[in-house]
Structure 1
Amino acid sequence: MELFGIPVFDDDFYKMLFRFVLNITLITIIIRSFYYKTSGNKTYLFTYYMIAIIVFFLCFTLKKFELDLGMALGLFAIFGIIRYRTDPMEINDMTYLFIVIGISVINSLANQKMSYAEILGANVIVIACIWILSIYKFGANESYKKVVYENIENIKAENQNALKLDLESRTGLKINRIEVGNIDFLRDLADIKIYYNNEQISES
């Protein structure tokens, strides 16, 4: 049965639903069990989910058509505009964004040449790698806060201990390291990032 030359229904609908449920389940495991648990950052949760959903349906739809050069360049242009109009992301956040996009592409574009065991195996391996790296704490257990600091004298190299003690007393956090960013000498202000372990948040 067709409507305006387009089939009303075909068996790919069930395939799409199955793969979508599989994809969103795995994306949820990655985002909620690893990213949010280690970073505590809710800022990109909506973004990660929506990018995963849109990329999945975009790739699933496009694989049924021949993608010409013009459409491919148009898609790259759209993603390029989105990227340049957004705020810079931290490396850890960008890594999870790449994982979300990659997982969605794998789950949507896999064809008859790949078995479901291979598709599921690829997803499980990715999740296992994230879990292993999180256990060995390759930076995943560390979070940061941005602070506008007014005691400009403490940002000098010789006053690093005083800076750390002052920030720890104000924030109540055990600080691992400190990065000093932009310095405004006219207003005696400095942008500072303080890095600390996530366990301190859960314990408090």
Structure 2
Amino acid sequence: MFLGMSLMSDDFYKLVFRFFVNLLFITLIIRFIYFVKTPRRNYLFTFYLISVITFMICFALKKLDIDTGMGLGLFAIFGIIRYRTNTMKIREMTYLFIAIGISVVNALAGRQVSYAELMFINITVLVIVYILETWLLSGTESSKSIVYEKIENIKPENAEILKADLENRTGLVINSFQIGNVDFLKDVAEIKIFYFQAEQADYHDSEA
């Protein structure tokens, strides 16, 4: 025992085994089903990290004797993610969730949680965030919303014409686009375009 906590417990091996089982199936669902149909890298980052943080919090809190009031208080903490005044991007929201989750685990960890388990939780989250940011998601997808006036190009059969016109006007290499509200009275449509920042640098370098 050190400062009221054991260095390692038998539950450490359960934590490691269950974590990798969870990570395996989350990867199968997110990377090989969701991402194939909807290649949004920012959402991959969010899905992975929320899954990891939720797993770690539930595993840690399962070992703690918390009452109903404490449980409701934890839900109130996570409630501030939704009730906010300033709009935050999904990546920043994910980091906020990570910060809150890690803080909750570290603050509530008691003698039921060993130092090995606590360090595994913190280091695993750190490593996964680093890997996602610097390796898997290095080509982060960005988006812009624009108002488009050539409304005849929004027809499905004119998709390639629309994409070429959007790329010519914006100077961006567009990965995909979504057509939003259409105003036939004003002959305009709201279009959200998606592009990768890294590809823009490569594109402009080749043009030079």
* TM tier, smaller: 0.5 to 0.7
The aligned runs of 1:1-204 (5 Å cut-off) are: 69=69, 76=75, 83=82, 92=91, 94-134=93-133, 135-137=135-137, 141-200=140-199
SS of alignment partner, residue 122 of structure 1: helix
1:188 is displaced (CA, Å) by: 2.0
Change (3 A) 1:82 1:96: closer
TM-score, length of structure 1 as denominator length: 0.52
1:166 is displaced (CA, Å) by: 1.2
- The count of residues paired between Structure 1 and Structure 2 equals 141
Per-residue CA deviations over 1:87-139 (Å, capped at 9, x if unaligned) read 887665554443232222222222233344432321221122233344233x9
1:175 is displaced (CA, Å) by: 0.6
Q: Is the 8 A contact 2:142 2:196 kept in 1?
A: yes
1:186 is displaced (CA, Å) by: 2.0
2: CA distance between counterparts of 1:78 and 1:126? 20
1:73 is displaced (CA, Å) by: 5.0
What RMSD over aligned residues (CA atoms) do the two structures have, in Å? Answer: 3.8
Change (3 A) 1:96 1:108: same
SS of alignment partner, residue 82 of structure 2: helix
Unaligned runs of 5+ in 2: 1-40, 43-63
TM-score, length of structure 2 as denominator length: 0.51
Q: Which amino acid aligns with 1:175?
A: I
1:77 is displaced (CA, Å) by: 6.4
1: CA distance between counterparts of 2:183 and 2:174? 23
Q: Which amino acid aligns with 1:166?
A: D
